[in-house]
Amino acid sequence: MNMPLSPSAPEAAGLLDGYTHTIGGKAVESERAFPVIDPATGQPFALCPDASRAQLDAAVAAAARAQAMWRHTPLAARRDALRAFAAALRQNRDDLAVLLTREQGKPLHRAQDELDRAANAIDILTGIDIGPEVLRDDASGRVELHYRPLGVVGAITPWNVPIVLATPKIAQALYCGNTIIVKPSPYTPLTTLELGRLARDVLPAGVLNVLAGGNELGQWITEHPGIAKISFTGSVATGKRVLAGASSTIKRVTLELGGNDAAIVLDDVQPREIAPRLFWAAFHNSGQICMAIKRLYVHEAVHDELCDALAQLAREVKVGNGLEEGVELGPVQNRMQFDSVQRVLADTRGRAEARILAGGHALDREGYFIAPTIVAGLGEGTPLVDEETFGPVLPILSFNDVDDAVERANRSRYGLGGSVWTQDLDRGAQIAQRLEVGTAWVNHHLGTDMLLPFGGAKESGLGREYSGMGLKGYMEPTVLKLPAAVRSIGRPTPRP
């Protein structure tokens, strides 16, 4: 990701400013700033402070001081504080949604939904039991597994759904007794900075720190000796750099990376009935979702009818500025990604076997808009099929043998999610279990549940977020062995 350049004074005129980092519970400005681009216009609309190395050091020190207190704060009190933060998020939801749409591009109602889901995620995650586990309790003794906070967590979040990905990291880290430093993407930093502002009134100083910056800040965070864990969501390429940077201090790392999710549609479906669900599982957020459907394998018996139905939906959906009434799909979020999708489309148009059924081009208007695109005729070995395009483009591939479809779906370095679509649920479940992914669905695709672990196989990630499993990734397990006379900590069992 390229860091936006700092603007000169004339270029900065008229841009929204006043955004600040949150360090130690206080608003902090920076000497440098960079422009934030509205993807619906391609023009800057605001200035964002650019954190220095000294400011990161100050944030780590503030987080470490706060953690010494926060880790001993009763779990119920940590829960109450986080739920107060969720309440503040709800109270400011409408204003934040407008800002989120301007910097990310998604339709306003989708931005509102993202903020609602973010607040709900905090409430759900802080209701999960993270108490000790009993591993053994017999004549040989009792063994308990306890969990303790790691210390200071560094969270690095992406530009596609910045708030719904930042708040669960905040909730998990803080609920478990850690403190946190959050770095949003430089493409969508402003709404996350506003989370820090809200937190100043409801969380103890230093518990949540938010700093904006580019690649350099991300590298400083991953390498900083005062940070004990990194939780990163983003591309595979950047995830590998994060892992390398964290290795110098053996940080705990959770990586939620990209995906090239396949959906397999069997021959017993009603194509026009399932087409809307498949369409939105692929095109939600203009295809900029890590677990969206990015390859669609369709049995030849229903292939043509499903292609027609999906192409019709692609031609009818309203694309535009997310602040306009009735818009269903916004722009690609940034110029770099827009150019990347354009290159994939140019390659696709140049292939004789490709049949572009809808879209296939950028829209003739300002901003980073690409027409929703449906492509048939391609196979493996092409960029659109093999790699994660991360845009509003869906290839549809044909098959006549289910074993072949599963093998082709698994022929990928990615393994985030996958789905099977059929009227026979038992058959669907059997096939779905063969997919080499972190999450497999039957007759559904897309979406996360805070009570379920989420993450990827292969190069789609390390570890899991959410659920009890995800929460425990923010803590260090300790095995406690007790002699047979002891039934629990500090409570010896009287002998007869």
CATH number of the domain to which 153 belongs: 3.40.605.10
Residue 239 shares a structural domain with residue 319 = no
Residue 308 shares a structural domain with residue 203 = no
Give the closest residue to 322 by CA, choosing from 312, 332, 335: 332
Each residue's pLDDT tens digit, 196-245: 999 999 999 999 999 999 999 999 999 999 999 999 999 999 999 999 99
Residue 321 shares a structural domain with residue 423 = yes
Residue 131 shares a structural domain with residue 219 = yes
- 494 in a structural domain: no
pTM for the predicted model, two decimal places: 0.94
Mean pLDDT within 350-362: 98
- What is the per-residue DSSP string for 350-388? T-TT-EEEE--SB-SSSSS-B--EEEES--TTSHHHHS-
Annotated active-site residue 290? The verdict is: yes
Residue 193 shares a structural domain with residue 169 = yes
CA distances, 382 to each of 300, 372, 406 (Å): 20, 19, 18
**Which of 48, 176, 290, 307 is labelled catalytic?**
290
What pLDDT sits at residue 485?
74
Reported confidence tier of residue 492, pLDDT bands at 50, 70, 90: very low
What pLDDT sits at residue 11?
52
Each residue's pLDDT tens digit, 263-282: 999 999 999 999 999 999 99
Rounded to the nearest angstrom, the gap between the alpha carbon of residue 20 and the centroid of all alpha carbons in its chain is 23
- 55 in a structural domain: yes
CB atoms within 10 A of CB 316: 10
**Token pair listed for 102:** 């301007």
pLDDT score of 494 more than 50: no
Each residue's pLDDT tens digit, 281-290: 999 999 999 9
Report the C-alpha gap between 77 and 9 in whole angstroms. Answer: 46
**145 CB-contact burial (10 Å; exposed 0-12 / middle 13-18 / buried 19+):** middle
Residue 239 shares a structural domain with residue 288 = no
Residue 273 shares a structural domain with residue 384 = yes
- 148 in a structural domain: yes
What pLDDT sits at residue 14?
83
What pLDDT sits at residue 374?
98
Q: What is the mean pLDDT of the chain?
A: 95
- 388 in a structural domain: yes
DSSP lists the bridge partners of residue 393 as 373
What would the 3-class secondary structure string for 65-95 be? HHHHHHCCCCHHHHHHHHHHHHHHHHHCHHH
pLDDT score of 489 more than 80: no
- 236 in a structural domain: yes
What pLDDT sits at residue 260?
98
Rounded to the nearest angstrom, the gap between the alpha carbon of residue 141 and the centroid of all alpha carbons in its chain is 43
pLDDT score of 495 more than 50: no
DSSP lists the bridge partners of residue 486 as 492
CB atoms within 10 A of CB 493: 11
What are residue 17's phi and psi, to 5 degrees? -140, -165
What pLDDT sits at residue 13?
62
**Going by C-beta distance under 8 Å and a sequence separation of 6 or more, which residues neighbour residue 453?**
464, 465, 466, 467, 469, 470
Residue 394 shares a structural domain with residue 377 = yes
Residue 253 shares a structural domain with residue 109 = yes
**Which of 144, 256, 328, 465 is labelled catalytic?**
256
Give the closest residue to 26 by CA, choosing from 180, 207, 197, 193: 197
CATH number of the domain to which 410 belongs: 3.40.309.10
CA distances, 175 to each of 71, 73, 148, 210, 262 (Å): 9, 10, 11, 17, 35
Under 8 Å between Cβ of 209 and 59: yes
Residue 198 shares a structural domain with residue 324 = no
Q: Domain range for residue 210?
A: 9-257+460-478
- 468 in a structural domain: yes
CA distances, 164 to each of 198, 271, 347, 385 (Å): 16, 32, 33, 28
What would the 3-class secondary structure string for 177-232 be? CCEEEEECCCCCCHHHHHHHHHHCCCCCCCCEEECCCCHHHHHHHHHCCCCCEEEE
- 3 in a structural domain: no
Q: What share of the chain is helix, strand, coil (3-state, %, to 5)?
A: 40, 25, 35
Residue 169 shares a structural domain with residue 53 = yes
- 392 in a structural domain: yes
**Token pair listed for 348:** 């696709």
Each residue's pLDDT tens digit, 145-158: 999 999 999 999 99
Under 8 Å between Cβ of 59 and 211: yes
**Going by C-beta distance under 8 Å and a sequence separation of 6 or more, which residues neighbour residue 10?**
none
Secondary structure (3-state) at 447: coil
Number of domains making up the chain: 2
Rounded to the nearest angstrom, the gap between the alpha carbon of residue 322 and the centroid of all alpha carbons in its chain is 20
Residue 62 shares a structural domain with residue 186 = yes
